[in-house]
Amino acid sequence: MFEAAELGRKVSKDDYKARVPALRGELLEVQNALRAATAPPVVIVFAGVDGAGKGDIVNLLNEWMDPRWIVTRAFGEPSDEELERPEYWRFWRALPPRGRIGLFLSSWYSRPVLDRVYRRLTPEAFEERLNRVVDFEQTLASDGALILKFWMHLGKTAQKKRLKTLENDPLRRWQVDELAWKHWRLYSRFIAAAEHAIRITNRGNAPWMIVEGEDARYRSLAVGEAIRDAVRGHLADTEDARAAADARTTARPGAKRKGAGPVTSILSSLRMDRRVDPKDAESMIETHQGRLNLLERKAAAKGVSTILVFEGWDAAGKGGAIRRVTAALDARDYQVIPIAAPTDEERAHHYLWRFWRHLGRAGRVTIFDRSWYGRVLVERVEGFATEKEWRRAYAEINQFENQLVHHGIVLVKYWLHVTDEEQLRRFKERECTPHKQWKLTGEDWRNREEWGAYELAVNDMIEHTSTRDAPWTLIEANDKSHARIKVLATLCDRLERRLGLKTGRKSRSQ
């Protein structure tokens, strides 16, 4: 794979001087066009052998373009804060917004390759890590991001020569340490691992370009021209995609999916007559709250995080259920994240970005009042997401949740269900209760007209995203006490299983 990058390509000083001014102007031109169009971001990954010029080329690109609109990130060993969260948390947080370019050194490829070189990963585990990389890049590319990946290469002899040259330069010898020489001695292992990584992750939406790194002038022009050409194509693709989207909107001004009629769904199978005797409800809630308090303190001591997702119909009682959970917790150990329409900053990123950034540290409880499922619920029904976007979101959400659970997080997802008649009763009650009127909006009434479309969307959501690792718990919420008790009991059961304790009851989950 790397033979073609060991041919000794060179660019003369005169040729370099003649080509650079025009290239710099063209890079600035496409960078400004990217910003003006607020086009999907450009993600550029640099990897390769030590001494091949990865850092030099990143510095040069910041010099040639406007660094104010470039996100440059280099990842070393993860900090304690990063280790307390899933591996990709730090990469998601560093992604550039729309209209920007991101330059990444020692990115999501470094750790899998190094772990394979040092035999910390079996071939099967290495393959699994690389498939996660593919999923991550596919998620970004499907949202429109341009992904470019450069492997800066040197043959073993050329790498030794380069390291010696750096060592003999008083101003740059700091770049060479014993670890660099150790990696050189492991050159054949690095190349084998890199070749496999490139072969698995070289996809049409995230291609690799292998660049010979021995001559600085050659590699600078090769990378700069490749970026220029790719961003030009990206801008053209963005314009075409927007024109097609405008045409669809013109052809279908009512993009909203109608579905007022009744549907048969998994929600139809729920026993909505479940009730708890009011005389027993408060004591039962307090019992489960005490149980939850003890369990959560044990989880915090072990660094086990918990994420709760609350979805459900308007007026289904999500807020009341959340308050019964938080009443059992130490206020310093939890955070409730209310999810509304995305801000301008959030719209400039992939829709999952705002959820990744809210993941709590080890031992904390994060509660989402509505969540990433908005993509396959409200955005689907209201036409804010295209069918292609919301259909691919099922796989993206499953990958996201798999990373949470794989990291050891307790993930509990609730759908609070009420009947159409019970929702109408609660709406009318809110209208007549002064301290509850603020909860009722015109949008709530309008959403009732789309009950059938929403119920179909909920059915599809459960069918596609209720997995063994992250199942949905369906809550019969016509009776608020029953709903609150089931929420608390289910959470306690899940914590007991995660902590290896005897489960007090069998939770009823879907």
pLDDT of res. 253 = 43
pLDDT of residue 431: 81
The C-alpha atoms of residue 162 and residue 165 are separated, in whole angstroms, by 5
User: Would the pLDDT of 505 be above 80?
Assistant: no
The label of the residue with tokens 């809210």 reads 358
Q: What's the pLDDT at 8?
A: 86
Kindly tell me if the per-residue pLDDT of 506 is higher than 80: no
Q: Which CATH code is given to the segment(s) 3-246?
A: 3.40.50.300
Average pLDDT over residues 48-68: 94
Q: What are the residues facing 308 on neighbouring strands?
A: 367, 412
Specify the pairing of strand 70-74 against strand 306-312. Answer: unpaired
- Answer whether residue 276 shows pLDDT above 70: yes
What pLDDT sits at residue 437? 67
Cβ 463 vs Cβ 391: under 8 Å:
no
Label residue 244 by pLDDT band (50, 70, 90).
Answer: confident
Determine contact, residues 152/61, Cβ cutoff 8 Å.
no
**pLDDT value of position 248:** 62
Interatomic CA distance for residues 467 and 490, integer angstroms = 16
Enter the tokens of residue 422: 């019970």
What is the percentage of the chain residues whose pLDDT exceeds 70? 95
Which of 409, 296, 411, 304 has its CA nearest to residue 363?
304
Percent of the chain residues topping a pLDDT of 90? 81
Q: Does the pLDDT at position 329 exceed 60?
A: yes
Give the pair of three-digit tokens for residue 255. Answer: 């993009």
Lowest mean pLDDT among 98-102, 110-114, 440-444: 440-444
pLDDT single digits (tens) 362-393:
999 999 999 999 999 999 999 999 999 999 99
Q: Please give the pLDDT value at position 250.
A: 54
Mean pLDDT of 161-179: 88
Would you say 206 and 147 are in contact if contact means Cβ atoms under 8 Å apart?
yes
Higher pLDDT, 284 or 256: 284
CA distance 449 to 447: 5
Residue 112 has pLDDT above 80, yes or no: yes
Please state, rounded to an integer, the average pLDDT across all residues of the chain.
Answer: 92
DSSP 10-76: ---HHHHHHHHHHHHHHHHHHHHHHHHTTPPPEEEEEEESTTSSHHHHHHHHHHHS-GGGEEEEE--
The pLDDT assigned to 510 comes to 39
Q: Write down the CATH number for the domain with range 271-499.
A: 3.40.50.300
The pLDDT of residue 87 is above 90 = yes
pLDDT for 319 beyond 90: yes
What pLDDT, on the 0 to 100 scale, is given for residue 301? 96
Residue 421 to residue 426: CA distance in whole angstroms: 9
Closest alpha carbon to 219 in 391, 380, 8, 30: 8
Which residues does residue 472 pair with via DSSP β-bridges, in sequence order?
Answer: 413
* Terminal-residue alpha carbon distance, the chain: 48
On the CB side of 456, CA atoms within 13 Å amount to: 13
Q: Do domains 3-246 and 271-499 have the same CATH topology?
A: yes
Interior/surface letters 324-338, b for 16+ CB within 10 angstroms, e for the rest = bbbebbeeebbebbe
Residue found under tokens 């060179």:
10
Q: Tell me the per-residue pLDDT of 333-365, one tens digit each, with 9 for 90 and over.
A: 999 999 999 999 999 999 999 999 999 999 999
* Each residue's pLDDT tens digit, 257-270: 454 456 789 999 99
Measured CA to CA, the distance from residue 461 to residue 415 in angstroms comes to 11
Query: What's this model's pTM, rounded to 2 decimal places?
Result: 0.90
**What is the distance between the alpha carbons of residues 363 and 296, in angstroms, rounded to a whole number?**
8
- Residue 443, pLDDT > 80, answer no
Q: Which residues contact 301 (CB under 8 A, 6 or more apart)?
A: 363
Boundaries of every domain in the chain = 3-246, 271-499
